[in-house]
Chain A
Amino acid sequence: MAIQYIIMKYAYLLMVAFFSVLFIYNLFTQKSLAKQIGCAILLIPFLLRLFLLH
């Protein structure tokens, strides 16, 4: 139970944080403005989940 709880709570957040970092990296390094906007839009649910709904 304890392992399941830890996986549910922390591993999930870790995955969300990992993808958020990838998108943030892309947001600053992309040469295409359209792709940067796409990254910013994609980041919205990830950051909301990371900071607000955990």
Chain B
Amino acid sequence: MSENNSAKKGCGNFLTGLILAAALGAAIFTVGKEFRYQFNVEPIYKGPGVTSVKMLSDYNPFLKGTNGDSKVYVLDSGKPGGTFIIMGGSHPTEPGGLLAAVLFVENAVVTEGKVMVVPHSNNSGFSTCEPGLGHVPYFHIATPSGKVRYFRYGNRGANPVDQFPDPDMYLHYPSGQNLAADEIRNLDRAHPGNPHGLLSQQIAYAFNRMCWDEGADMIIDHHEAPPEKPLVNAICVHQKGIDLTSEMALALEEQDIKMRVEISPIPLHGFSHRELGDYTPAIAFLSETPNPSQGSARGVTYEELIIDGKDEVYRHLLEDNLLKVDYKSEGVTLNERAGRNVATDLSLAEIYSDLGEDARNEYGGYPKALGELNPDAALKIDGAKALEMLAKGPEGENRKIVITNMPSYDDIMQNGIGRYLRDADATAEEIEAVKKAAD
């Protein structure tokens, strides 16, 4: 009996193994090729103002070779002035922030001070979509030459393959605050970062270091939110920048852009507007625009929803007075959302330059045990010195940041965002011409 059974089972041999191995190889090659394609980062072309390109791993070497490393575009005037860091793509489901950052890289020319732009702040999140939400993985925008650029619509958090598994509960470092488990992959809950932490905390730590190493005056984190959430068409600011932001909101009102000012809640940890303000000399901001394509009330999610921002379900909710926040029946286009971010950044730079020393509000709410709590030990700055630098801000008389050659909000609304996207890096002649015009 047992001999019969073993005779039946014994139909496998080296040849069947070889056939199975070949089939396995073909399957892995085909699936793997498609899978690897997700990790490609869309091209961003260097505009006339880009003077060098750094990496986040220049600020936190542990990011080198990981999916969290990302390009930092430096637009340096070569003249004394302040430093402004612009973060796009903290949440890769929020393309308005990404596109605004791309517009700065591909157009801006800085004539005083320095601007540093990170379009893919959470690079890991761009390599995957959020499961179960039916998002489209890519969206496309035509440029003036007729070519079509693609952009990735990713995951709100980091890719789980880079940081797995999520714990049952996320305890934020260094505050110890409890957060939902999947927030451990959320870059905007990982600040001020941890050089010994998981990937998101490592990325956050790179921004922390960047603020110190570059002597950043301001850092803004571009975000979008579902239209049903209260924090849309708003800017959240650390206590150090209340006056500056209030003036910015008034300046935007003159351009018919309504931007509500919210003060960063002190006990709410992990956010860029809270922690980068508390743990670095920079004034930290976070801007929000409404994005129907990430809202939970949305209908079917097509690529058009990302770009046109027009959703039937939201329109019905608006008509039935069920939406308490700003949403227009004609939709909220990507042009408008990116344009708002661009106008906000330009206005902040201009007003910061005008106000000079008065731009910074006094703030004494820093964590008491700064030297013990923050990754300051790794920063090699003693607690007292760090507190002094945080209170005073970066040193130097001239902290102006002057940005030119950028389209205004009206330009973007009128001509569309594609008009200001490039097909190739700026040529030497173009750089020369733009710099002459800027001077």
In the assembled complex, 7 residue pairs joining A and B whose CB atoms fall closer than 8 Å, in A order, are A1-B196, A28-B21, A31-B10, A32-B9, A36-B17, A39-B20, A47-B24
CA distance A20 to B18 in the complex (A): 16
Residues from chain B with Cβ under 8 Å of A24 in the complex: 21
B39's closest neighbor in chain A, by CB?
Answer: A52
**A-to-B contact residues, CB < 8 Å:** 1, 5, 24, 27-37, 39-40, 43-44, 47-48, 51-53
- Identity of the chain B residue whose Cβ is nearest the Cβ of A32 in the assembled complex: B9
| Majority secondary structure, A binding face | helix
For chain B residues 191-208, which have a beta carbon within 8 Å of chain A? 196
A1 to B13, CA, bound (A): 47
Within 8 A of A (CB), among B5-64: 9-14, 16-18, 20-21, 23-24, 27-28, 31-32, 35-36, 62
Chain A residues whose CB sits within 8 angstroms of the CB of B20 once the complex forms: 27, 36-37, 39-40
**CA of A13 to CA of B186 in the docked complex: distance in angstroms?**
26
- B29 and chain A: residue at smallest CB distance: A51
* Smallest Cβ-Cβ distance to A51: which chain B residue: B32
Interface: B428 (CB within 8 A): no
Q: How far is the CA of A36 from the CA of B18 in the complex (A)?
A: 10
A-B contacts besides A33-B12, A44-B24, A48-B35, 9 pairs, CB < 8 Å: A28-B14, A32-B9, A32-B11, A33-B9, A37-B20, A39-B20, A40-B20, A44-B28, A48-B31
Q: Does B1 contact A (CB under 8 A)?
A: no
CB distance from B158 to the nearest CB of A (A): 14
Chain A residues within 8 Å of B161, by CB: 53
> Is A31 in contact with B12, judged by CB distance below 8 angstroms?
yes
State whether A31 touches B13 (Cβ < 8 A): yes
Measured between alpha carbons, how far is A5 from B60 in the docked complex, in Å?
A: 14
Distance between A38 CB and nearest chain B CB, rounded to angstroms:
10
A36 to chain B, nearest CB (A): 5
* Closest chain B CB from A41 CB (angstroms): 9
A to B contact number (C-beta, < 8 Å): 55
State the CA gap A51–B384 with chains docked (Å): 48
What is the interface of chain B, defined by CB distance below 8 A to chain A? 9-14, 16-18, 20-21, 23-24, 27-28, 31-32, 35-36, 62, 161, 196
Which among A35, A44, A53 is the interface contact of B12 at CB below 8 angstroms?
Answer: A35
Chain A residues contacting B12 (CB-CB under 8 Å) are 30-36
A44 to B27, CA, bound (A): 9
* Docked-complex contact B17 and A52, CB < 8 angstroms: no
Contact A48 B62 (CB under 8 A): no
- Residues on the B chain within 8 Å of A39, using CB: 20
> Using Cβ atoms and an 8 Å threshold, which residues of chain A touch B17?
27-30, 36
Measured CA separation A52–B29 after assembly (Å): 10
Q: How far is the CB of A29 from chain B (nearest CB, A)?
A: 8
A52 and B21 contacting across the interface, CB-CB below 8 Å: no
**Which residue on chain B has the smallest CB distance to residue A28?**
B17
Nearest A-chain residue to B195, judged by Cβ: A1
Whether A52 pairs with B14 at a CB distance below 8 angstroms is no
Which chain B residue shows the least CB distance to A37? B20
A31 to B, closest residue via Cβ: B10
Determine the distance from Cα of A51 to Cα of B347 in the docked complex, in whole angstroms.
Answer: 47
Among the listed B10, B13, B21, which residue makes an inter-chain contact with A40, where contact means beta carbons less than 8 Å apart?
B21
Residue of A29, A33, A44 touching B11 (CB-CB under 8 A) = A33
Taking a contact as CB atoms under 8 Å apart, the answer to whether A52 and B35 are in contact is yes
Give the residue of B9, B16, B28 whose beta carbon is less than 8 angstroms from that of A48.
Answer: B28
In angstroms, how far is the closest chain A Cβ from the Cβ of B323?
A: 41
